A and B are shown apart, each in its own frame.
Chain A
Amino acid sequence: MPRRLFLSGLRPLALSALIACSTTLGAAAQESSDPIRLTLHDWTGQLITTQLMGEVLKKAGYSVEYVQADYLAQFTGLESGDLHLAMEIWETTGRDAMDASLATGNVENLGPNGLQAKEEWWYPAYMKELCPGLPNWEALKDPACAEAFSTAETAPKGRYLGGPVTWGGFDEERVEALDLPFEVIHAGTDAALFAELESAYQRKAPVLLWIYAPHWAPAKYEGEWVEFPTYSAECYTDPAAGVNPDMAYDCGKPFGDIWKVGWAGLKDKWPGAHKAIQAFTIDNAEMGQMITEVDLNGKTVEAVVADWMAANEARWSGWIAR
């Protein structure tokens, strides 16, 4: 009896498996059944992008595995084929590591994922009272305004909290080129950066810092980006270009794509997945909404991803069908 029960339980399972196989056979015909390993980092936006991609690949019949990896250390794994796909390499912070990795020939750039990275100096809205000229950057030149942003260690200069040294960003150069009375202090890590913002915001204390988007901070805190002269490639390379004729970096930070980067062998091992990954795009507005749902409204990443999948079936089935 138990044996019969077991078998009868198994039969529908086998049937459904067969159906699942036959529907996806077209896409994943002679492809490997090994799992495609996607890397997860420690910020919500990336978790969402990666799991969206993962869900799409699952719908196409691929086996998917998520591996927690450090943003920069992951390149070693991508080069050796231990890892297969990273969904968010930011033009603004990951360029060096990505270029070094692409140069080995073992890693492939799978195109932009549609998100636009924005990074700039940012201040909470209440700072406008002390510094009425903002968001125009020239307001920061006013000594009274700089003093409003100062602390005991930097006074009379203002204090600007930059990102970790590893992010680059040329803020020291920018301060010099635009002759701003500010001192650049580097936070060691992303978490420290936002811990300072949270602390200042709770006390309505002055703070001027590096914020990037897509991120939950611009949604949670009321504030604005400083408007610097618009970025251009010449502004960074040619001293003559821009406001200051003698110095480069006399403009704002660049906007940038966020790239999908994968193991070079992905194309041959899972050709269909390779196409689907290249087709994947999403935009800032959608992303901002999903990040807010997770980080501020307390939903789980899985639930938000499932909602998106349900609402956008036409879009993602197009990516798989190609």
Chain B
Amino acid sequence: MTALPAPRLSHARALWLVAVVLTAILWLWGQRLAPFAFDYPKAWQIPAARWIGNAINWLMKEAAIGPLAFSDVTRFIAALIDAPYRVVLSLLSSGLLSGEGSSAVQLWPPLSWVAAVGLFALLGLYAGGLPLALTVTACMAFVAVFGQWQSAMVTLSSIVVAVPIGVAGGLLAGIAAWRLPWLDRALKPVLDLMQTMPVFAYLVPILILFGFGPTAAVVATLIYAMPPMTRLTTLALRRVPAEIHDLGRMVGCTPRQMTWRVLVPASREPLMVGVNQVIMLSLNMVIIASMIGAGGLGFDVLNALRRLDFGAGLEAGLAIVALAIALDRLSQALARRASAPPRQGARHPYLAAALALVAVAWALGLILPAVQTYPEAARLSTSPFWAAAVEWINVTFFDMLEALKNAILTTLLVPVKRFLLSLPWLGVVALLGLAGWRLGGWRLAALTAGLAFLIAATGQWEKAMITVYLCGLSTLFALLIGIPVAIAVANRDRAWTVTRALIDTLQTLPSFVYLMPVVMLFRVGDFTAMIAVVAYAVVAAIRYTVLGLQGVDPRLIEAGRAMGCTDWQILTRIRLRLALPEILLGVNQTIMFALSMLVITALVGTRDLGQEVYIALTKANPGNGLVAGLAIAFIAIIADRLIHAAAMAQREKLGLEGGG
């Protein structure tokens, strides 16, 4: 810190002091003098909702490329996605059918559950040996034993189609963004939009363009699940050491070989985190996908919770988790295996075993129906247990929990909310602009102040402030919990395995499953919403911090130790500092995750922008929904850019190289 030039510092401080004092004056006494600074006057509002609504209508009904209507193009894309989906669905769930609907005749049964579990086990054995085979079998057996097989196969079909498209699309976009800096700049806000715009905001246009059904669900899933893959690809390619580039050049790689044979394999670890994220986020969309015709496990969860059957909801939810874990571990192991040197002739025994298994299971299935479909009588159910458990906690601990909740509400949540709501929008816009200017120059200032102004100018200031309060506090809690946990487990293999299973569960278990018991204990409202947001956002904080810490070159840590650093110094001076790019990406993702939960918080009665989006959906008003969705995305972009610029400025001051 001593390296800082003193005069500039005092200058900057003075500037901030003046700005804050001016805002405070406006805040304290401006209400009467300049009421327009508090409530944005209706007459000045930009009718963005109407414009966007009209544009959407035009796109859906009139837009055309030559003789082809835009909706014909999207329907064609839908048909392209639908074809593989039908194939997978008939293989896993419906069987080969002739005809449609209830008059369809089954020509060939689907893969029996015994064969499917067996195939998963074989694949596990092939990719990762006995431990993996056991994990995968346990996951799939769980699904069968709890009677979720049929629904799980429907869900699996859409995931099996969505994930490869998401991974390939994300990878290509990421590579293109790494090659072309202008594309990178253009793509960034688009990715932010894709990840933070609540699905409900663009659900209606998607349904019209892609048709009602599983395909629309796959498209919505892709929009949500692809961005992390793109981000991680770009980040990973940038971090490939210069020596590897040199090596590639020395052996005379063409640009194409350089990308696919050298750089992509060299950045396998972060890329696999990307694949993991695509799988996890796809499964996270299962609930919303089920609302637009995808059916499957998401529908079971919703249906169970409407009956307040927590046990059934939890079982369907955990089946989603089991699928997620099985798919993730398999894909990780396959990738690891693909990069290992191939063993000759090792593949065929597995293929032969798989074919034999399918054939035997099919033949047995003709005689024993229990082999074909899991018998209803052998199904386990934990519903009565969970109902009793929730009741016991409710009756025993409600008063204690209520007191705790009230204490947190009155000392923290309510004051923060009141304070944010009382701020004049003009002052906040000015301060954001100033922060942008100090940290990143005029461009950033124009961006932050401009976006903040747009939120006010479209008449959403109050809801936006509630959103900032809810997501801001939640992000803070998530980081405060997540980063220490990540530091604690990053270099302990067993602890990390357990933590990883835990955060995978948190990320894929539909929040609805634990939200309803939480509502029983804490009533509807901000506190309940915050629990859901923190539980979900903490995943990003942990995952990315661990990724960064594990990527630190062990030689550097040893060098530090040799120089006599204490553990604390190694942590703060070496490990955290070198992991900073990933940690920053983690902060970005924590904010994005928190904002993406607004769809869910709207369902427990908050009054934020997520609720606006939801209301717009119910009133069939895509304009309003998209405007509120954009406001959410703007908040995300402002927060992300300011944090990023602050970190860059900090690194420059510390004399580290810029960039990540």
Q: Which residues of A contact B (CB under 8 A)?
A: 33-37, 40, 42-44, 47, 54, 58, 62-65, 67-70, 72-77, 79-80, 82-83, 96-97, 100-101, 151-153, 161, 164-166, 185-192, 194-196, 198-199, 202-203, 205, 216, 295
Contact = CB atoms under 8 A, between A and B. Distances in A.
Interface in B201-231: 203-204, 207-208, 211-213
B614 A191 contact: no
Given A82-B213, A186-B605, 13 more contacts: A33-B99, A44-B306, A63-B100, A65-B100, A72-B617, A77-B212, A82-B211, A152-B402, A164-B605, A188-B606, A191-B516, A196-B520, A202-B395
B398 interface: yes
Contacts of A101: 620
Contact of A188 (B204, B302, B604, B619): B604
Closest 9 pairs (CB-CB, A-B): A35-B101, A77-B212, A63-B101, A70-B291, A63-B103, A199-B520, A82-B212, A65-B101, A166-B618
Contacts of A96: 618-620
Contacts of B254: none
Q: Which of A36, A54, A82, A295 has the most CB of B within 10 A?
A: A82
B524 interface: yes
B394 A63 contact: no
Which secondary structure characterizes the binding site on chain A? mixed
Contact of B524 (A58, A188, A198): A188
9 contacts: A64-B102, A80-B207, A100-B620, A166-B614, A188-B602, A192-B604, A194-B308, A195-B520, A202-B391
A185 B520 contact: no
B391 A76 contact: no
A199 B398 contact: yes
Contacts of A73: 203-204, 207, 212, 291-292, 617
A6 to B, nearest CB: 13
B447 to A, nearest CB: 32
Contacts of B307: 44, 216, 295
A36 B615 contact: no
B496 to A, nearest CB: 35
B299 A63 contact: no
B106 interface: no
Nearest to B313: A191
A271 to B, nearest CB: 18
B394 A165 contact: no
Nearest to B392: A202
B45 interface: no
B516 A35 contact: no
Interface in B289-319: 290-295, 299, 302-303, 305-308
B305 A191 contact: yes
B512 interface: yes
A162 to B, nearest CB: 9
B409 interface: yes
B104 interface: yes
A169 B614 CA distance: 17
B440 interface: no
B525 interface: yes
A35 B103 contact: yes
B521 interface: yes
Given A80-B211, A82-B211, A203 B394 contact: yes
Q: Which of B104, B211, B611, B618 has the most CB of A within 10 A?
A: B618
Nearest to A20: B103
Contact of A63 (B99, B406, B620): B99
Interface size class of B (residues with CB under 8 A): 35 or more
B86 interface: no
B512 A191 contact: yes
Given A63-B101, A67-B212, A194-B308, A202 B394 contact: yes
B96 interface: no
B397 to A, nearest CB: 11
Given A69-B212, A76-B212, A188-B603, A195 B308 contact: yes
Q: Which of A69, A83, A192 has the most CB of B within 10 A?
A: A192
Interface in B496-529: 512, 515-517, 519-521, 523-525
Contacts of B615: 165-166
Given A76-B204, A82-B213, A199-B394, A151 B101 contact: no
Q: Which of A43, A100, A188 has the most CB of B within 10 A?
A: A188
Contacts of A196: 519-520, 523-524
A34 B103 CA distance: 9
A40 B293 CA distance: 9
Contacts of B308: 191, 194-195, 198
A192 B519 contact: yes
B520 A190 contact: no
Contacts of B525: 153, 185
B516 A97 contact: no
Contacts of B395: 202-203
B297 to A, nearest CB: 11
B213 A67 contact: yes
B599 to A, nearest CB: 10
A70 B103 CA distance: 25
Nearest to B619: A96
B202 to A, nearest CB: 11
A190 B512 CA distance: 12
Contacts of A54: 102
Contacts of A203: 394-395, 398
Contact of A192 (B203, B290, B409, B605): B605
B102 A153 contact: no
A195 B605 contact: no
A63 B517 CA distance: 40
A5 to B, nearest CB: 14
Contact of B619 (A74, A97, A164, A190): A97
A41 to B, nearest CB: 9
A79 B57 CA distance: 14
Nearest to A75: B620
Contacts of A188: 524, 601-606, 611
Nearest to B528: A192
A74 to B, nearest CB: 7
Nearest to A204: B395
